[in-house]
Amino acid sequence: MDEQLINKLADYVYQAEKEKREIVKITAEMYPELSIDEAYLVQEELIRRKQNDGLTIVGPKMGITSEAKMKQMNVDNPIYGYVFDDMVVAEGDTISLSDYIHPKIEPEIGFVLKRDLEGPNVTALDVLRSTEYVFPAIEIIDSRYENFNFTLPDVVADNTSASGAVFGTALKTPDQLELDVVGVTLSINGEVKSLGAGAAVLSHPANSIASLANMLAKKGEKVKAGQPILSGGITAAVRLSEGDFVNVKCGGLGDVSFFVK
Ligand code: OOG
Ligand code: MG
């Protein structure tokens, strides 16, 4: 895959994101043979473009880490992308539906590390020992592809549909709870739309952060201390509508919410 094609595909997804416009997935016609490794090259180029435009990375995110997500999206392997500063929504804030294409939300558990984690061979126990605190979070995903229809390489190239993140401010240290048996509900206007437990994410959300460290190690990178990290949707994602009040509650971890106008 030459540089010209990488640039072309990065432009393709970035333009769609900027213009809040749906596009046909890359593998449909433009480049059906796109591999996962090539898709990460496109993602890296997309990230460089965003940084050249003055945006900064807030933290990494894992995706497709639960069976619910694998089934919903018809893809079957954990992937990662990045949340940028312009995507962060303050807890209790109101977003405007018109700033998105077809947004969906996911309940997630977030981590902040107290020391860098460098793979390979990072385990969940390493993650827990290196965690400063955990917090409830909501990810807003907004695939640039028509109808959220994509293959794994497509969604990697599109920065794993990253579009928004609401980080809860209730901080707990991991020894205060057992993250696998933390119950999670996602409610809209007081009605529970989906529910699950931390164990939905690779048996324990800490496994997701370990996977991230081990995947990044292949590129000589590490998971950095101090950044909020999303471990992946616990349940299937739920479509947002105007007038929604979204609340995610995690047992023992508190809750996080925002409004949609
Ligand atoms: C891809 C992003 C998946 C998660 O938590 O599983 C993701 C998508 O479903 O559009 O963020
Ligand atoms: Mg997610």
Residues 183-238 pLDDT 10s: 999 999 999 999 999 999 999 999 999 999 999 999 999 999 999 999 999 999 99
pLDDT at 250: 97
CA of 142 to the centre of ligand 1 (A): 9
- Let me know: does 109 contact 252? Beta carbons within 8 Å: no
Ligand nearest to C-alpha 66: 1
pLDDT at 76: 87
Ligand nearest to C-alpha 236: 1
CB atoms within 10 A of CB 144: 28
- Protein residues with CB under 6 Å of any ligand 1 atom: 63-65, 69, 73, 106, 139, 141, 143, 148, 155, 160-161, 232-233, 237
Q: What is the residue-averaged pLDDT of the chain? A: 97
Q: What would the pLDDT profile of 133-189 be if each residue is shown by its tens digit?
A: 999 999 999 999 999 999 999 999 999 999 999 999 989 999 989 999 999 999 999
CA of 8 to the centre of ligand 1 (A): 24
Sketch the domain layout of the chain as residue ranges: 3-260
Q: What would the pLDDT profile of 29-87 be if each residue is shown by its tens digit?
A: 999 999 999 999 999 999 999 999 999 999 999 999 999 999 999 998 999 999 999 99
If one looks up domain 3-260 in CATH, what number appears? 3.90.850.10
ipTM (interface pTM): 0.99
CA dihedral sign, ordered 99, 104, 110, 113: negative
